């Protein structure tokens, strides 16, 4: 038990480090999307959706793995406690996207031939320069009011997540599984929390005769919440006037982004336990939806007729809680296979899931009955 406690403390520490790593990357990349608000809200929504899509889908793919370490179920009141790490591989094609394919109405590449830009998982070099245009109130013609480079990616083509899970055996060869990390504050980054629930039900009891394998149906749901704080402030060189005296540091200090990722999966699974070794595999369906809410007050620029009435100028304005971005994968097919080795009350396990996002998952735990 002392060895187990020491191991679990080490794994928990590693989990915290991974959370900080991902929170730091997420915070940095989300803050990069601030300039996208300079166009219309429709354009900002489209651009942010495509930018964050790889991590949204990759994080959901990870959340749908690691629910079991064998196909069979516990005896009544048997239990296990585990901590696992999952990593999904972002497909190469998700690391960039083409601005010309989004039908934007207020933002366009300065060079239309240079329109491919990194997503959040893509190159950490800045994307192409784009310009924001809005109607001139005097002429009615489109006029460029500002320009900027599309945000760079993280240069990190993986989505990572730790999972703390407890399971208990119920009657009728059924396991109840709970995932839970209370909302914790990560200094300098924000808050992180997890909740999940699942079950694994053995089908052998309903099938006449002897089956040489354990056959089960398993389903799980998991929600990951992450809130990050950052600051997107205007530059005086980007506007001609500030008639409402908006540009004060305190005004932009309350900005944050709240991310909520919900994932579910349902599977048919088969496996066999021989001594300390258990092998399992299965197939099923999974889905992920993510929402990203931008909170606080953000700077934007508009065209306004000057006091003389003979020209226009770029004025500083602001928007409060300007944007909610949703990414939904729909139901997709998945297959998976894994194994575990039991060492007394301890076990180590690993599995791999094949789907649009390949996921590798490994961990260790404590099990009884």
For the record, the structure tokens of 185 come out as: 């504050």
What pLDDT does 2 receive? 35
What pLDDT does 309 receive? 75
What pLDDT does 290 receive? 92
For the record, the structure tokens of 293 come out as: 């809410």
The residue ranges of every structural domain in the chain are 2-368
What pLDDT does 19 receive? 47
What pLDDT does 230 receive? 77
CB atoms within 10 A of CB 227: 21
Nearest to 188 by CA among 54, 32, 57, 31: 31
CA distance 66 to 44: 35
For the record, the structure tokens of 353 come out as: 């899931």
What pLDDT does 34 receive? 64
Beta strands in the chain (DSSP E): 79-89, 96-98, 107-109, 116-118, 129-135, 142-149, 158-170, 174-186, 190-202, 214-229, 256-274, 277-295, 297-305, 312-320, 323-328, 332-343, 346-354, 359-368
CA distance 305 to 297: 24
What pLDDT does 88 receive? 95
For the record, the structure tokens of 307 come out as: 């006091």
Judging by beta carbons within 10 Å of its beta carbon (0-12, 13-18, 19+), is residue 82 exposed, middle or buried? buried
Alpha carbons within 13 angstroms on the beta-carbon side of residue 82 total 31
Per-10-residue mean pLDDT, the chain, length 369: 35 43 51 71 90 91 95 92 93 95 93 94 92 88 89 89 92 95 74 91 92 95 87 85 90 88 96 95 96 90 83 89 91 96 94 96 90
CB atoms within 10 A of CB 245: 8
Q: Kindly give the interhelix angle for 2-32 and 41-63, rounded to the nearest 10 degrees.
A: 160
Q: Kindly give the residue spans of alpha helices, DSSP state H, lying in 33-109.
A: 41-63
CB atoms within 10 A of CB 346: 14
């Amino acid at each position: 038990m002392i060895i187990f406690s020491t191991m679990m403390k080490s794994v928990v520490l590693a989990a915290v480090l991974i959370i900080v790593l991902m929170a730091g990357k997420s915070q940095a990349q989300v803050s990069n999307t601030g300039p996208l608000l300079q166009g219309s809200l429709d354009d900002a929504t489209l651009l942010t959706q495509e930018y964050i899509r790889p991590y949204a889908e990759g994080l959901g793919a990870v959340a749908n793995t690691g629910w079991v370490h064998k196909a069979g179920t516990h005896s009544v009141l048997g239990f296990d406690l585990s901590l696992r790490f999952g990593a999904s591989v972002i497909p190469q094609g998700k690391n960039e996207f083409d601005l010309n394919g989004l039908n934007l109405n207020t933002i366009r590449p300065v060079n239309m031939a240079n329109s491919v830009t990194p997503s959040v998982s893509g190159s950490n070099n800045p994307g192409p320069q784009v310009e924001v245009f809005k109607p001139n109130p005097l002429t009615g013609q489109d006029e460029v009011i500002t320009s900027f480079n599309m945000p760079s990616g993280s240069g990190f083509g993986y989505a990572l997540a730790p999972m703390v899970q407890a399971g208990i055996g119920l009657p009728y060869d059924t396991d109840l599984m709970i995932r839970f990390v209370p909302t914790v504050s990560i200094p300098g980054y924000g808050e992180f929390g997890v909740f999940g629930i699942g079950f694994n039900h053995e089908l052998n009891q309903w099938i006449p005769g002897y089956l040489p394998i354990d056959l089960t149906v398993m389903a799980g749901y998991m929600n990951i919440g992450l809130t990050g704080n950052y600051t997107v402030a205007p530059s005086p060189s980007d506007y001609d006037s500030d008639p409402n005296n908006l540009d004060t540091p305190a005004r932009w200090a309350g900005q944050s982004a709240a991310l909520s990722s919900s994932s579910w999966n349902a599977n048919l699974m088969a496996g066999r336990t021989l001594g300390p070794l258990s092998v399992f595999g299965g197939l099923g369906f999974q889905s992920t939806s993510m929402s990203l809410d931008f909170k606080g007050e953000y700077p934007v620029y508009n065209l306004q007729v000057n006091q003389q009435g003979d020209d226009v100028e770029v004025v500083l304005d602001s928007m409060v809680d300007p944007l909610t971005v949703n990414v939904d994968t729909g139901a997709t097919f998945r297959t998976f296979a894994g194994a575990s080795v039991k060492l007394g009350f301890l076990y180590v396990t690993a599995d791999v899931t094949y789907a649009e996002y390949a996921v590798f998952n490994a961990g260790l735990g404590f099990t009884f009955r």
